[in-house]
């Protein structure tokens, strides 16, 4: 098995940087259905550019390279201990090479291991079978979509849909609600895997395993096949749209599995995955470890380079105003912005995620943040031989995690703008009005698109929190984002949530016997 380590390295790199063909087809279909010139069309245009950029540069599609989960089937007698050791070595190398972001963090101390290895990371499941080859599959699932996983215990009352019983129609309500609750925070349009039955642990595991199925796969269970089609159709009537901006494409795939349960328990577990659906697989020679075949790469590979760019027509269709900002920004400039404006940022930009926000509540900032812009981002960074840092991937993280801190920190330090994805809540919205601030929504997962806008790394502070959580000081050019929360009390996220909830209520009546 001398080639196994290299094969695992190749699988990791390819999964992180190159979307599988079935996912590309689903995204193209969504793009073709979306109304031209809308915010959703602009988002999909950015997404498809990012897919090609990541593929061309062999760099992460999304900066959050997430939790690595391997599902590996091996012939009887294969040395699984040695295979796991080689997988760890491959992960360490991929992290060192900037193909993975260091994501393994001690849950008690917050210390980052720096190499993606630690208790519980990665997840490696081995299964013996009687075939004479190895089947190794990997899914790279980021924290933003992982946070939108949800589990229901039937019977129960579901907001907007009423009573859900222990039957197929109750399951239907759970799954439809899971699509609604994700909104744009899971980087819609997304995919869902559903596990019916089991206990709380095995139900979630079954749900995640459904994500290894091909998008075009038809369920062998006729009732579940009908339910998958129903959810895919009705999920796209909720109007949540790409990035939660509203639109036609909310759900790109739904796969459902079922297992037995205890009489007292009835769980419906949903694993949500963003549009950056990174999962690939290979078959291997069990003697050499060489790759024999790549999985999820059947048919023609789709490139989006020749697609029509919908971004050019956005201003005309939605009458979006484009405003250029460069820090330090004044309150007057911020008060002039309104939801729907497209902001182009040049100059200084400073990253700040969970650890930074928690730290700033009780400490001084390492630099003067008055009039500055904070970017909710945990980039992939590499240092060259001269000691200079370079950004390898830098898309936005989910902002709602900073809701307990954001408004207070903006007032305390004079921050005028925050960039992230998925929007924020009422506390932040209130603070934007009181202080004179704005929330800008960048396109989740578009890590190469935004990395290309970063022209220099000026410095870094608070590296003790690890690379993703440190405060990086960046110079950017042409960094585009959309105003989705302004200083006048307007929130696109609240509007889409309200309208999609109203549409959700249209599905109260029983559908499946």
pLDDT in tens, the chain (513 residues): 889 999 999 999 999 999 999 999 999 999 998 888 899 999 999 999 999 999 999 999 999 999 999 999 999 999 999 999 999 999 999 999 999 999 999 999 999 999 999 999 999 999 999 999 999 999 999 999 999 999 999 999 999 999 999 999 999 999 999 999 999 999 999 999 999 999 999 999 999 999 999 999 999 999 999 999 999 999 999 999 999 999 999 999 999 999 999 999 999 999 999 999 999 999 999 999 999 999 999 999 999 987 765 444 444 455 679 999 999 999 999 999 999 999 999 999 999 999 999 999 999 999 999 999 999 999 999 999 999 999 999 999 999 999 999 999 999 999 999 999 999 999 999 999 999 999 999 999 999 999 999 999 999 999 999 999 999 999 999 999 999 999 999 999 999 999 999 999 999 999 998
Q: What pLDDT is stored for residue 169 in this prediction?
A: 98
3-class SS letters over 140-152: EECHHHHCCCEEE
Sign of the dihedral defined by the CA atoms of residues 187, 280, 64, 32, in that order? negative
DSSP 36: T
Distance of alpha carbon 113 from alpha carbon 441, whole angstroms:
30
Distance of alpha carbon 174 from alpha carbon 146, whole angstroms:
17
Rama region for 143: left / alpha / beta (φ>0; ψ in -120 to 50; rest): alpha
Compute and round to an integer the Cα radius of gyration of the chain. Answer: 23
H or E stretch covering 324: strand 322-325
Q: What pLDDT is stored for residue 36 in this prediction?
A: 85
Sign of the dihedral defined by the CA atoms of residues 205, 208, 212, 218, in that order? positive
Q: Residue 329 in contact with residue 371, Cβ under 8 Å?
A: yes
Distance of alpha carbon 7 from alpha carbon 9, whole angstroms:
5
Question: According to CATH, where is 3.20.130.10 located in the chain?
Answer: 321-497
Name the residue among 439, 407, 411 with its Cα closest to residue 423: 439
Q: What pLDDT is stored for residue 314 in this prediction?
A: 43
Q: Classify domain 321-497 by CATH number.
A: 3.20.130.10
Name the residue among 449, 373, 439 with its Cα closest to residue 62: 449
Q: Which two tokens stand for residue 2?
A: 């001398």
Q: Residue 174 in contact with residue 152, Cβ under 8 Å?
A: yes
């Amino acid at each position: 098995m001398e080639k196994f380590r290299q094969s695992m390295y190749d699988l990791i790199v390819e999964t992180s940087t190159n979307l599988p063909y079935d996912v590309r087809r689903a995204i193209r279909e969504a793009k073709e259905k979306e109304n031209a010139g809308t915010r959703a069309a602009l988002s999909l245009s950015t997404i498809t550019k990012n897919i090609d950029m990541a593929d061309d540069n062999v760099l992460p599609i999304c900066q959050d390279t997430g939790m690595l989960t391997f599902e590996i089937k091996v012939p009887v007698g294969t040395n699984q201990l040695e295979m796991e050791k080689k997988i760890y070595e491959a992960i360490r190398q991929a992290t060192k090479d900037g193909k993975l972001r260091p994501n393994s963090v001690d849950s008690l101390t917050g210390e980052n291991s720096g190499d993606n290895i630690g208790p519980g990371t990665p997840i490696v499941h081995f299964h013996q079978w009687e075939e004479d080859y190895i089947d190794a599959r990997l899914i790279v699932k980021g924290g933003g979509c992982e946070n939108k996983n949800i589990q229901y215990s039937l019977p129960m009352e579901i907001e907007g849909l009423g009573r859900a019983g222990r039957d197929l129609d109750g399951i239907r309500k759970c799954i439809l609600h899971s699509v609604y609750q994700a909104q744009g925070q899971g980087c819609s349009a997304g995919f869902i895997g559903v596990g019916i039955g089991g206990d709380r642990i095995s139900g979630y595991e079954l749900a995640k395993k459904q994500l290894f199925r091909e998008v075009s796969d038809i369920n062998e269970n006729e009732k579940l096949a009908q339910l998958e089609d129903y959810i895919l159709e009705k999920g796209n009537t909720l109007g949540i749209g790409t990035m939660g901006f509203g639109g036609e494409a909310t759900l790109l795939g739904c796969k459902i599995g079922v297992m037995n349960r205890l009489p007292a328990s009835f769980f419906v577990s949903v694993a949500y995955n963003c549009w950056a659906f990174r999962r690939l697989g290979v078959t291997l020679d069990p003697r050499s470890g060489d790759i024999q075949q790549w999985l999820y790469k059947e048919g023609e590979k789709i490139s989006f380079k020749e697609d029509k760019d919908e971004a050019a027509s956005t201003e005309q269709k939605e009458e979006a105003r484009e405003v250029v900002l460069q820090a330090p920004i004044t309150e007057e400039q911020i008060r002039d912005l309104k939801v729907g404006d497209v902001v182009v940022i040049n100059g200084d930009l400073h990253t700040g995620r969970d650890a930074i926000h928690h730290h700033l509540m009780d400490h001084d900032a390492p630099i003067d943040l008055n009039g500055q812009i904070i970017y909710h981002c945990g980039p992939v960074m590499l240092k060259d031989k001269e000691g200079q840092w370079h950004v390898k991937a830098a898309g936005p993280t989910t902002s709602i995690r900073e809701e307990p801190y954001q408004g207070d920190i903006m007032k305390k330090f004079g921050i005028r703008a925050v960039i992230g994805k998925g929007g924020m809540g009422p506390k932040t919205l209130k603070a934007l009005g009181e202080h004179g601030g704005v929330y800008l929504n960048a396109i989740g997962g578009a890590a190469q698109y935004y990395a290309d806008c970063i022209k220099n790394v000026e410095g870094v502070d608070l590296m003790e929190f690890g690379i993703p959580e440190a405060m990086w000081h960046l110079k950017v050019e042409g960094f585009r984002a959309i105003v989705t929360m302004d200083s006048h009390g307007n929130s696109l996220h609240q509007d889409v949530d309200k309208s999609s909830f109203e549409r959700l209520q249209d599905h109260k009546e029983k559908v499946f016997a």
